[in-house]
Structures are given as C-alpha cells and as structure tokens.
Amino acid sequence: MSEKGNYVSYQAVIGKQVVDMRGALIGEVSDLAFDFKKPEIILRIKTKTKEGLEVSSTDILSVEDLILLKKEVKLPKVEAEIAPPSTIPPPPEARIPEPVPTIICPSCGARAPSRAKYCPKCGNKLR
C-alpha cells in the first residue's frame, strides 16, 4: 500500500495480478465495485480460468507490485488444451555418400575419380 496512507488509486489497481496466500496466481483485477450497504470495496478479478471472481477489500493483505490476498482461493480446474505433438521432423539419417569410383594413377599411384582425365597429384594423363 502507499506509504502516504492506506489508500491506492483505481488506476494503480486495475490490471494488477492477484496472488493468494499460497502464492498461486489467481488472475488480474478487471474492475472495482462498491458495496454501499456495508462500506467495502470489491475487486472483480478475471481469473486464469476465464471466470469472474469477486474479492472483498477486507481479504487483501498487500497491494504492491501485485495484490496479495489473506486467504487461499480455489479455482476450478480447467481441462488443459492438449497441444498436438511437436511436428518437428526427425533429424535426417546420416547418409553415407556413395563411394565415388576411382582409378589409380599409373605414374604416382594416387587415387583419382574415375571421370578424371588427369591425375590430381602429378598431372599425368589418365586416359
């Protein structure tokens, strides 16, 4: 809460994340409402489960970077959307290149591709 007093502006509260006493994220403040019969302020929270939740200002422990509640809040479980399995293709199999047919230079004994006309080592004509 503010060091100037125990008040926080409307703009400072809207959009803040709300966490219960266990540290579980409940949702974020979407609006404030006033109950004039019993003077209190109600936080309207849009929860992780996309439902609305109302929390009394008497249930708030602290308002700083987020809003910390004095109580535990149980939200209904949401069926997790099952993401399709990753479609990353498997790594390509290590392909062993086809051996290139070679010939042996009669002059120096070096290997050269069979399509070579000259020896890459000594330059002797192979054909």
Residue 85 has pLDDT above 70, yes or no: no
Q: Which residue has the higher pLDDT, 79 or 41?
A: 41
pTM of the model: 0.54
Give residue 3's pLDDT: 46
1: confidence class by pLDDT, cuts 50, 70, 90: very low
- Cα-flanking dihedrals φ and ψ of residue 113, to 5°? -60, 145
10-69 — its CATH code? Answer: 2.30.30.240
93-119, pLDDT tens digit by residue?
767 777 878 999 999 999 998 889 999
Q: What's the rounded mean pLDDT across residues 36-54?
A: 84
26-36, pLDDT tens digit by residue?
899 998 888 78
Task: Give the domain ranges of the chain.
Answer: 10-69, 100-127
DSSP string of 77-114, one letter each residue: P-PPPPPPPP-PPPPPP-PPPPPPPEEE-TTT--EEET
Are the C-beta atoms of 2 and 19 separated by less than 8 Å? Answer: no
Q: CB burial class (10 A; 0-12, 13-18, 19+) of residue 116?
A: middle
